Structure 1
């Protein structure tokens, strides 16, 4: 199992994830249409040419999922019970087709669950950068994690 149990994290720890991923046109088109987000800014190249960006923007929800997804192998694979919530989701810079995204995770808070003593809550700060070292996504995520079995 690649993920860590609750006790495997420490507040202030920063985990730099080795996996990177280049966003493709198919990623953006498929994700946008599967989630019923048919906004022209994501799918219509001719429309996008008329915007300040001059080309389609990658769906921001895809970007959020990618940044968090990159973190899974190093943090929660097989040890998470579930996500409890997202806070302060920000997209300071747009993502475009062909951008390569990398991520890091900082452990912001931890506490043992009051109602589930075999589990704990970890607050992760996920950040994603493009190949120009611009932050493209940042969010706080609270996850319910398994504690180390005795």
Structure 2
């Protein structure tokens, strides 16, 4: 059922041309949006057992590029209930955590036929939010972090639905 729901989300959110955004070479794009009126983009990508976070100007050198083994990436999968699909993926860089999130409202107001997709990135240091950027309206073109879930499982990690954390299988 999860793959069916995420496949539905991918069909809504990603066009064939958009699939190339946010990745380098043969990687799998997980997330893409623009922030700050289209000046910057936020991208997540998976290449084998390494996940990448990229932030910076669109079509230019990244201001920040983090590469982490999937076992070091924080990933909170959708719990499977409710009208909103919500997932996060987080990267630690020293004292800072960069958490990318997206949400899909499966029952949009007004009876519209397309799901509303929102997203953004939150930068946290310790217990203090340093920055919170919201994706520009309509700019979330890729939003499927399930390949990261599969990569973590392939690396020997299992998601504990009761404790809401990853651990050894």
TM range (shorter): under 0.3
TM-score (norm 1): 0.26
Q: Which has the higher contact order (CA 8 A, sep 6+)?
A: 1
Larger proportion of strand: 2
Larger Rg: 1
Q: Which structure shows the bigger proportion of residues in helix conformation?
A: 1
TM-score norm. by structure 2 comes to 0.24
